[in-house]
Amino acid sequence: MTELRYIFRHALLREAAYSMQLRATLQHLHRLIAEALERLYRDQLEDRYFDLAFLMNRGRVSEKTVFYLEKAGDFARSRFLNQQALEYYDKLLRLAEVQSNPAQKSQILLKKAKILDLIGNWDACALALKEAISNSRKTQLTDLLGQAANAYGRLLMLQGDYPQAMRQLQESIQIFDQLGDKGGRTEALGNLGNLYFPPGKYPEAEQYFHQSIEIARQLEGGFISMPKSWPTWA
């Protein structure tokens, strides 16, 4: 029995050592393939973002895994592959938790919220934005807090919760003012104009729209961009 136990344990140890060696070899091969793709397709990498995200993850190249997962998510979103983009962003959120990266977490939550808003999943969008607000406030990521508050205020406005939307938008404007972020202030003021539009408070809406336009004109080159949330009824 003693001899049999020894043989059994030895076989298990040998199998474990073989598995570890195989895993290390596979990781190395994934890294080599990823590096080859980077070199071969350096002028058209966007067509390879999905492959590179997969290969870097399997090759355990942490920084490049994060880089290509975000690129893949952004590329999928630009092609309206919304579900695929959400899957990449969820993977990034899990990595951000593991790596204790609050800034990346808030950024990805904001990107995820935009897709959820686009496809009409407002409940999930609200959860993502509230998490982004909580995470940004807790870790003092002021710029991301302003963006999240502005986006959440817009969502609340679309849902008809005007008092809460007003509070969120006013908070975002205060933050943008502190940061000197005129672009953010322009968009938040536009959202406030949108808020006053449906109830028929046109003078108030006009006032905020004019402020938004005036600040945009002051920025270099005139209008840097139209606010992302001009009302569909306008």
Assign residue 137 the CATH number of its domain: 1.25.40.10
Total domains present in the chain: 1
Q: Specify the pLDDT at position 229.
A: 44
Query: Is there a contact between 182 and 219 (Cβ–Cβ < 8 Å)?
Result: yes
* 3 state SS of 45: helix
For 181: left if phi > 0, alpha if psi spans -120 to 50, otherwise beta; the answer is: beta
- Cβ contacts of 163 within 8 Å, gap of 6 or more: none
Query: Is 175 part of a structural domain of the chain?
Result: yes
CA atoms within 13 A on the CB side of 163: 0
pLDDT band at 136 (very low <50, low <70, confident <90, very high): very high
Query: Which residue in 146, 85, 138 sits closest to 116, CA to CA?
Result: 85
pLDDT, tens only, 177-216: 999 999 999 999 999 999 998 888 999 999 999 999 999 8
Is 94 contained in some domain? no
- Does 46 score more than 80 pLDDT? yes
Q: Is 220 helix (H, G, I), strand (E, B) or coil?
A: coil
pLDDT band at 220 (very low <50, low <70, confident <90, very high): low
Separation of alpha carbons 156 and 166, rounded Å:
9
- pLDDT > 70 in the chain, percent: 87
Cα–Cα distance for residue pair 28/21, rounded to 1 Å = 11
Structure letter (DSSP) for residue 106: H
Tokens read off for 78? 């630009």
Q: Is residue 46 part of a domain?
A: no
104 within a domain of the structure (yes/no): no
Q: Does residue 54 lie in a domain region?
A: no
Q: Is residue 76 part of a domain?
A: no
- Which of the four pLDDT bands, split at 50, 70 and 90, describes residue 26? confident
Looking at the chain, list the stretches that DSSP marks H as alpha helix, in order from N- to C-terminal side. Answer: 2-40, 49-58, 62-78, 82-98, 102-118, 122-138, 142-158, 162-179, 182-196, 202-218
* Structural domain harbouring 188: 127-234
User: Residue 157 falls within a domain, yes or no?
Assistant: yes
Q: Give a yes or no: residue 232 inside a domain.
A: yes
Closest CA to 191 of 143, 147, 227: 227
Contact 34, 64 (CB under 8 A): yes
Task: Kindly state the average pLDDT of the residues 19-35.
Answer: 84
